């Protein structure tokens, strides 16, 4: 997982051919005014705008994506993410759903990472992550990007 400010995330654009388009979407001046929902960014990238309160650490469950990378960007508020290496997970909470490319787990995160307003976390398939672990109102954009090995 990579955590950095939006103005510094461009340094990681070379890690995936889709990152440049994803970061361009996050630079939109109207980002904070987008209604909650899904937005196509390119044929390969989807943005999800979420405007909801955090679930707190007890309500956030680790999840893993097998084929997609998340860029989780905190537009307003301050989120927190749980993190653990995916191959350490032992207690599945749901079956893998290929439609959402998600499997959830009962395992506890190894650590909790703050995701302050104006920062983004790049979460790879080998990163189990528990999003929305903060409490209070949050406006986030989650970009779903194909993992290119």
Percent pLDDT > 90 in the chain is 99
Which residue segments constitute the domains of the chain, with CATH numbers given? 2-28+35-136 (2.60.120.370)
Mean pLDDT of all residues in 12-18 = 95
| DSSP 3-state of 43 | coil
Beta bridge partners of 112: 82
CA distance 143 to 70: 5
Average pLDDT of the residues of the chain: 96
CA distance 54 to 62: 14
Q: Are 69 and 135 in contact (CB under 8 A)?
A: no
149 pLDDT higher than 80: no
CA distance 58 to 36: 24
Q: What is the pLDDT of residues 95-142, one digit of tens each?
A: 999 999 999 999 999 999 999 999 999 999 999 999 999 999 999 999
Mean pLDDT of all residues in 2-21 = 95
Q: What is the pTM of this model?
A: 0.94
């Amino acid at each position: 997982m990579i955590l950095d400010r939006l103005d510094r995330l461009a340094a990681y654009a070379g890690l995936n051919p889709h990152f440049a388009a994803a970061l361009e979407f996050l630079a939109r001046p109207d980002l904070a005014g987008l209604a909650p929902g899904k937005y196509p960014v390119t044929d390969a990238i989807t943005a999800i705008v979420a405007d909801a309160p955090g679930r707190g650490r007890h309500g956030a469950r680790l999840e893993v994506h097998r084929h997609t990378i998340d860029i989780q960007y905190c537009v307003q508020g301050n989120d927190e993410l749980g993190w653990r290496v995916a191959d350490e997970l032992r207690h599945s909470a749901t079956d893998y759903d290929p439609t959402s490319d998600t499997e959830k787990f009962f395992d506890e995160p190894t650590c909790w990472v703050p995701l302050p307003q104006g920062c983004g976390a790049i979460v790879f398939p080998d990163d189990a992550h528990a999003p929305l672990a903060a409490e209070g109102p949050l406006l986030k954009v989650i970009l779903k990007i194909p993992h290119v090995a």
